[in-house]
Chains A and B, each alone.
Chain A
Amino acid sequence: SQKIEQNSEALNIQEGKTATLTCNYTNYSPAYLQWYRQDPGRGPVFLLLIRENEKEKRKERLKVTFDTTLKQSLFHITASQPADSATYLCALATGFQKLVFGTGTRLLVSP
């Protein structure tokens, strides 16, 4: 069966460290993958998109990698800040215009 897995346990890190979140998938062959941020009680907000032929994408303190052989994407936040505390969702393109979302990983950055 098709599955997207993100670590359901919260990730706790200290301010200034690099946070690394994982998205693994099975039985999908996505042409691209997106990452979103969601704050409590609010809708997700788009962060980054990476295509299957791209190994890495960066935007300010954010970096995403996409390994189609391992069927995995890693999402990094460098120099993390308490304001980065949120739930981060990965989403795979599964067909025309449609996305399938993982359940998300909650990140807690303590001062």
Chain B
Amino acid sequence: DVKVTQSSRYLVKRTGEKVFLECVQDMDHENMFWYRQDPGLGLRLIYFSYDVKMKEKGDIPEGYSVSREKKERFSLILESASTNQTSMYLCASSLSQGQGYNEQFFGPGTRLTVL
């Protein structure tokens, strides 16, 4: 079974702190994604990586950065956390295969609260 794990289920941080969210997948997937999910807005893509050290901005990258030094690990960084970044953060991975008809496997999510 594919497993995507996230470093924390719940996290509370203060405004201005630097926050690291870690995601690890164990199925040798090329693609990894970071989403945030908010009521009424659904899942929105923050960043996407299709290979080690490669990254692409999603729909809402402002205030975030990412790092992919190893194939299995994709980190989301909040440089200076703000209260409007309070959200559920979901990591996902997928195989890279031709034209991308591939399901995404999600982690359990990290509920981040910024005070």
A binds B: yes
A101-B43, A103-B40 as given contacts; A32 in contact with B106, CB under 8 Å: no
Contact-residue bracket for chain A: 20 to 34
When the two chains form their complex, are residues A103 and B41 in contact, meaning their CB atoms are under 8 A apart?
yes
Q: Specify which of A42, A46, A98 is in contact with B103 (CB 8 Å cutoff).
A: A46
With A43-B108, A43-B109, A98-B48 known, 8 other A-B pairs at CB within 8 A are A31-B99, A31-B101, A44-B43, A49-B101, A49-B103, A51-B101, A97-B102, A103-B42
- Can you sample 27 A-B contacts with CB below 8 Å? A31-B101, A41-B108, A41-B109, A43-B90, A43-B106, A43-B108, A43-B109, A44-B43, A44-B90, A45-B106, A46-B104, A46-B105, A49-B101, A51-B101, A89-B43, A93-B101, A96-B99, A97-B48, A97-B50, A98-B48, A98-B100, A99-B45, A100-B45, A101-B43, A101-B44, A102-B42, A103-B40
Residues of B within 8 A of A (CB): 4, 31, 33, 35, 40-45, 48, 50, 58, 90, 92, 94, 96, 99-109
